[in-house]
Structure 1
Amino acid sequence: MTTTLYGPVFRADPHAVYRAMREEGPVHRVELAGDVEAWLITRYDDAKAALTDPRLVKGVLHPPNRLGIPKDVHSAITHHMLSADPPDHTRLRRLVSATFTPRRIEALRPRITELTVQLLDAMHGLGEADLIETFAFPLPIAVISELLGVPVEDRDSFRDWSNLVTSPGDRRTESPGAVIALHGYVQELIARKRRAPGDDLLSGMLAVRDDGDRLTEDELASTVFLLLIAGHETTVNLIGNGAYRLLEERERWVELRARRELLPSAIEEFLRFDSPVQTSTTRVSAAPLTVGGVDIPAGAMVLISLLSANMDGERYPDPEHLRLSRTGTPHLAFGHGIHYCLGAPLARLEAQIAFTGLLDRFPDLRMAVSPADLTWRPGSLIHGLEALPVAGLTPRHS
């Protein structure tokens, strides 16, 4: 039996759908968009093992060109480490990691704080606003622009293209043009950084070498796209989903304002409870394998539900209760194994600064609609709200 996922019922309450699937069994045949069938792994232990199983590979995949963009553009945005297996993955990750260092990330802290203050200033006095549009989206795109060295005068265009590339629903028709324009801009930016390097990640990736090896033009462009889409989307939804859960039962907001020492564990709980990346990127079984007692044939498409695994009651006590103080239960929100998210430290840093700013600035923040009025974005990859209307954007006067 094949289950159809990601329709209206799923968008209304994805946790309920995954709960039913876990109770029924650990692995399910599911139908994706375009009548594509895949095997979906839903329980924690099986998911963690699958993320490191060498029989589940990516290198045999040719990422589908569903947007109909030119072949050369498609090639130039899909040659990155998330779509590669060892030894290619090992080489790409080593080259990118050499410049995307913890020191570089920590050096962004003052600028992230400054950008956060600017966005909160712009929200002040609005009364009501969509927290995704006014805060959760623009902060990460500004940070990734800083990281890559995108000039200030180009950032409005860069943000517009990024928004269109990642837009769900009816705006997907605008994505091909945005992908082509963004690719052209990235090529131009690479050429500019080659002529005049700066103290930014892109310049660092251009300069890095390992025994004479270096990133190719397609690998550079693809890595920029990966950082833009994967890294940016993760942080948008970490902030948006976390704010939603704090305001859904507002005593959580009050508790976190009073007990700031809980912020690090709260961020990890947001990641566990509402994993920003819903499923792993696609893998293919290079050989037959058995997962949770279910036989998966060779050549099958396999997805691993990070969102479902992180709510598995066999792994987490009382998993559907969001506890700001929960500790000692590592999650899979950033993946596991060789494809563990390279940008996880940056996402955590942005979330820490973003939530600190919101808690300080808007003590009266509350949801402006009922939780039942909110919808989750469509699709199998991203787990995030389409919008989060909030009120209370004027600080309490003492």
Structure 2
Amino acid sequence: MKDKILSPSTASLLLNWYDRHGRQLPWRERPQDGRQMAADPYRVWLSEIMLQQTTVTAVRPYYEKFLALWPSIAQLAAADEEAVMVAWAGLGYYSRARNLLKCARLVATQLNGEFPRTAAQLQALPGIGPYTAAAVAAIAFRDPAAVVDGNVERVVTRLLAITTPLPAAKQLVREALLPIIPVERPGDLAQALMDLGATLCAPKRPACSLCPLQNQCHAFAAGTQEAYPVKLPKAQKPTRVGAAFLLIRQDQQIWLQKRADRGLLAGMTEVPTSNWTSRQDGVTTSDAAPLVANWQTAGKVRHTFTHFHLVLTVYKADYKAEIAADTTAAHRPNSLPENGWWRDLASLQDEALPNLMRKVIAQGLTPC
């Protein structure tokens, strides 16, 4: 790559394209008359946290909901953690929501409500890594930081035909971008690269004929666009299994409980479950049912986390008060756990249910 550097015209070509074709997004201030409008750091930060490992389409309604509930960093900092988790439920990667609140409270109380203005300073805040710090700094404060996400990696590795596999190639991409970042519009350049990768420079069948950088692209010249970025083979994800239990009363209420404050889906709402194990012979109701009842199989739910696949067998039962007195199986519990509550099925949207639990409940309520 020593003889391959980005052209001095790369930035101007990208910015001209972005001014005409950049995506209209609710957290973005569009350039007008060639000038970058001042971006609200709170909105930029909120959107970038939500966009971590999540698509624009999925983020949009959550972003709008959060702004409606908490229009400022001070209002978010004062929010109840449970309310934040409920508003985030379904977006996934729930540690982001907890760090979002930690960061808001730190900025509001220790930094007088003002975000730091450089990528290095921002990275010291909870939940902000190198990419998010660079994005917020460049877009909100015009810090000349190199913003490198998956879309940017794809664009630059193709432009320069970088054969170093990811993640090592990320540093090469960053180094290639630094010399061309315009002083006046670093945020717009970052967003132009993101938009080019998200629209024209797609992973498969890129629309090279429409690309403003076609004449500069080494991969296009060689016809090898889809070979980049180079990635190491992914390790196969293991599969874990478990059981989930839906206990339903005659008044159409379901028994829920809160997960532990540490670990996967920490602090979120769930129906009772067994442990998740690599055992492939499954988990029976006698292993982990919350109490004695006439448990019936209601099917299976499959869900994929970052590091493993999960298959839960769903069981459901009607709750009857007399089961508390059942002593036919002394080794199993005969009363409800203390860490739970009843919730109307019609108001489950008010609970911090992750997507996995939404799937489980939907499966359990589906007629056999």
TM-score (norm 2): 0.26
- Of Structure 1 and Structure 2, the greater helix share is in 1
**Which is higher, the Rg of structure 1 or of structure 2?**
2
Report which structure shows greater RCO (CA 8 Å, sep ≥6).
1
